[in-house]
């Protein structure tokens, strides 16, 4: 997948889709996002970097280190893509998230948040989707707050123990899935 | 039975306020140009009472506007004619403090500064510090995702809370924590402006007080040089605890009001706070002073009293400007920092166009502008003119890749501007999220997200990344 239009087309033409960042053997129709990668924009003095979802942490680190900057969260496996970390992480990751571009289950391209540190216009959808496991929308692009390496070391948080899900919470999550993916495309 | 008598019966004596005279103190929040008396105001003292209120309101299909201290600046707590105001200012207990884990569990009506005061003995404080911190409540802070002058280094409310308990409109209790698996529901609640649930308890993160803090005050010969210096500080790898900029008008007003010793010959002023260990501060100070070579005057605070004095001018900038005009209108847009000088020039041109004076005060470190538009509400049409001016500024912010609000919220004030920042599909997502939590739209209805109808009426064509909606249509 190399372009937004292609991905949108695939969402519209497929009944069920599993988003992944690597090739694997399975029955489901896969959407491999690993080739949709690269730095979209990087402004060192703004402390902001915007990445396509398939960009690996290694690639990001390489770009940031040239300016003595770093991601403000800890990643155990730097071969992972930023999109997969987004999909599987919690608050320690979402603290760095400033904005996302997504494709919802209807194939619509949507933007939430942006490239600024402060933005309270509308619900915080970009941080809501952190941890959504690819089941609500395709994350195509992510803007992150970054820090000078020395400061980042001070603030880098490790993932912490997770709470069990409650039934009321699952009920809300199911409703929110319908908001983004009304036809149940993303599995 | 009327809803007022139902509420009166269900709650302890003196918990329900009704009648036009009695509800008047609640007719507006910090955005006082909009006023509306509610049906009644209820002031519960515990969570069980809030649940009762919600149950009665749901049964009667009566909207609920939740209110903290009423210091909000976007009309988020403005009552609706047929609504109940649910005031949480009496839930002021600090339930527990964990100095080791650096957290505290507090009720929603606890004031922001009261948290820092309560944990001071452990060398801790609660980092977000909105200007209204002596009055505003933590519940309101969570509802608005409040900021302050230290966000660049220490984050907004969303990064400084550990968990929230909320009550749904059905009175069901939900706990959202940073440790939860699944969607970021804690972040969703933060900044949801009272539309999704009632915040009934907050676990805040506490920060260790820095060993040392110093403020460097520097005057610049032009706004552009001052703005460039902001970027250069960041380029040096320094993250100041606070980085505030003021223009000439704001400098003069603050100096006359608080006498902090600001340089009156400067076109722009920068206040840069450095904090951390003694070594860290000295190291950063050398770097910052190097960057300040363009400054016409530089002073470093010699002691804690002087540091607070330097801040006093900035923190009293709003009332200081307020003395110079019958009314002022405070904006809250954000922009990428690299456009600071450009945006300020545009604001200055608009000021001439509208013939209204404007003072600029902002959190330069995170590109959060607070232009104060001076006007006189007593003069016919001047408020409308000020609002048009403000909306033009917000459009510039969006077009520069920023946002219409950095920390004050949308409330009732920026509904039109929302049509400029988001397209129909995005606004639909917001409406559906609301419906997922509150299907009958009883919690603060009509705030924060404009109806699609409203945006269509405005004729506000949303242009996103240069793409017009429905490009196939001919336009004239």
Q: What is the mean pLDDT of residues A149-174?
A: 82
pLDDT at A75: 83
A66-108 pLDDT, tens per residue?
A: 999 999 998 888 999 999 999 999 999 999 999 999 999 999 9
By Cβ distance, the residue of B179, B239, B336 closest to A147 is B239
The residues in B 165-184 lying below 8 A from A, measured between CB atoms, are 172, 174, 177-184
Between B16 and A2, the higher pLDDT residue: B16
Enumerate the residues of chain B whose CB falls inside 8 A of the CB of residue A151. 153, 237, 239
B258-317 pLDDT, tens per residue?
A: 999 999 999 999 999 999 999 999 999 999 999 998 899 999 999 999 999 999 999 889
Contact B366 A116 (CB under 8 A): yes
Contact B338 A43 (CB under 8 A): yes
Contact A120 B409 (CB under 8 A): yes
In the predicted model, residues of chain B with pLDDT beneath 50 are 465-466, 468-476
Contact B367 A117 (CB under 8 A): yes
pLDDT at B221: 96
Which residue stretches of chain A are H helix? 4-13, 57-65, 82-88, 91-94, 125-128, 149-155, 167-180
For residues B260 and B436, give the distance between their C-alpha atoms in angstroms, rounded to a whole number: 50
B416-451 pLDDT, tens per residue?
A: 999 999 999 999 999 999 999 999 999 999 999 999
Pairing assessment for the beta strands A18-20 and B207-208 based on DSSP bridges = unpaired
Closest CA to B3 of B442, B438, B434, B441: B442
- How many A×B Cβ pairs under 8 Å? 196
0.80 surpassed by pTM: yes
pLDDT at B466: 45
What's the complex ipTM? 0.96
Contact B183 A173 (CB under 8 A): yes
B89-134 pLDDT, tens per residue?
A: 999 999 999 999 999 999 999 999 999 999 999 999 999 999 899 9
pLDDT at B460: 57
B133 touches chain A (CB under 8 A): no
Q: Which residues of B64-95 are buried (b: 16+ CB within 10 A; e: fewer)?
A: bbbbbbbbbbbbbbbbbeebbbbbbbebeebe
3 state DSSP class of A162: coil
CATH of domain A4-180: 3.30.465.10
Enumerate the residues of chain A whose CB falls inside 8 A of the CB of residue B402. 114, 116, 119
Q: Residue B323: is it exposed, middle or buried by C-beta count within 10 angstroms (0-12/13-18/19+)?
A: exposed
Instruction: Give me the torsion for CA of B62, B67, B70, B71, rounded to 10°.
Output: -130
φ, ψ of residue A20 to 5 degrees: the values are: -145, 170
Q: How far is CA B30 from CA A159, B33, B330, in A?
A: 39, 9, 11
Mean pLDDT score across all residues of chain B:
94
Contact B406 A150 (CB under 8 A): no
For residues B304 and B273, give the distance between their C-alpha atoms in angstroms, rounded to a whole number: 12
pLDDT at B474: 43
A114-137 pLDDT, tens per residue?
A: 999 999 999 999 999 999 999 999
């Amino acid at each position: 997948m190399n372009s937004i239009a292609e991905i949108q087309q695939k969402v519209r033409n497929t009944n069920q889709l599993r988003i992944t960042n690597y090739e694997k053997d399975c029955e489901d129709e896969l959407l491999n996002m690993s080739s949709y990668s690269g730095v979209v924009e990087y402004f060192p003095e703004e402390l902001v970097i915007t990445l396509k979802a398939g960009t690996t942490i290694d690639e990001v680190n390489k770009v940031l280190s040239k300016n003595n900057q770093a991601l403000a969260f800890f990643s155990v496996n730097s071969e992972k893509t930023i999109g997969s970390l987004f999909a599987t992480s919690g608050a320690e990751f979402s603290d760095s998230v400033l904005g996302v571009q997504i494709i919802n289950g209807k194939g619509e391209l949507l933007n939430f948040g942006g490239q600024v540190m402060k933005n309270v216009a509308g619900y915080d959808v970009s941080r809501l989707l952190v941890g959504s496991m690819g089941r609500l929308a395709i994350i195509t692009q992510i803007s992150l707050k970054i820090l000078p390496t020395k400061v980042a070391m001070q603030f880098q948080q490790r993932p912490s123990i997770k709470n069990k899900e409650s039934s009321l919470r699952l009920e809300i999550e199911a409703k929110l899935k319908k908001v983004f993916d009304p036809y149940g495309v993303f599995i | 039975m009327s809803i007022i008598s139902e509420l009166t019966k269900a709650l302890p004596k003196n918990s329900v306020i009704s009648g036009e005279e009695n509800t008047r103190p609640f007719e507006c929040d910090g955005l006082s140009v909009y006023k509306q008396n509610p049906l009644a105001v209820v002031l519960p003292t515990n969570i069980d009472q809030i649940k009762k209120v919600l149950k009665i309101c749901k049964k009667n299909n009566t909207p609920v506007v939740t209110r903290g201290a009423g210091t909000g600046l976007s009309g988020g707590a403005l009552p609706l004619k047929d609504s109940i105001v649910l005031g949480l200012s009496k839930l002021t207990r600090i339930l527990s403090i964990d100095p080791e884990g650096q957290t505290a569990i507090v009720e929603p009506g606890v004031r922001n500064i009261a948290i820092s005061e309560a944990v001071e003995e452990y060398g801790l404080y609660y980092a977000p510090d909105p200007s209204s911190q002596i009055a505003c409540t933590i519940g309101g802070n969570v509802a608005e995702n409040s900021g302050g002058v230290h966000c660049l280094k220490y984050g907004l409310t969303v990064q400084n809370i550990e968990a929230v308990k909320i009550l749904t409109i059905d009175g069901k209790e939900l706990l959202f924590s940073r440790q939860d698996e699944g969607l970021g529901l804690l972040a969703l609640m933060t900044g949801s402006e009272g539309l999704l649930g009632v915040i009934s308890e907050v676990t805040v993160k506490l920060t260790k007080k820095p060993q040392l803090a110093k403020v460097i005050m520097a005057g610049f010969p032009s706004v552009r040089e001052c703005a460039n210096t902001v970027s250069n500080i960041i380029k040096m790898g320094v993250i100041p605890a606070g980085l505030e900029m003021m223009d000439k008008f704001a400098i003069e007003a603050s100096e006359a009001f608080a006498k902090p010793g600001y340089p009156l010959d400067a076109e722009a002023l920068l206040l840069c706070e450095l904090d951390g260990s003694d070594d860290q501060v000295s190291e950063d100070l050398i770097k910052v002073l190097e960057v300040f070579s363009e400054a016409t005057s530089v002073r470093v605070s010699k002691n804690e009293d002087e540091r607070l004095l330097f801040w006093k001018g900035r923190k009293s900038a709003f009332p200081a400007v307020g003395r110079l005009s019958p009314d002022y209108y405070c904006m809250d847009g954000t922009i990428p920092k690299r456009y600071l000088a450009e945006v300020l020039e545009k604001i200055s041109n608009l000021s001439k166009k509208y013939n209204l004076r404007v003072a600029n005060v902002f959190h330069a470190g995170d590109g959060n502008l607070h232009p104060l538009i001076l006007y006189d509400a007593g003069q016919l049409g001047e408020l409308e003119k000020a609002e048009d001016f403000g909306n033009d500024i917000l459009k510039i912010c969006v077009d520069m890749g920023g946002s219409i609000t950095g920390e004050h919220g949308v409330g009732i004030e920026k509904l039109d501007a929302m049509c400029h920042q988001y397209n129909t599909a995005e606004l639909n997502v917001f409406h559906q999220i609301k419906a997922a939590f509150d299907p009958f739209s009883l919690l603060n209805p009509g705030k924060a997200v404009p109806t699609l109808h409203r945006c269509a009426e405005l004729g506000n064509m949303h242009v996103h990344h240069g793409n017009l909606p429905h490009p196939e249509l001919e336009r004239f």
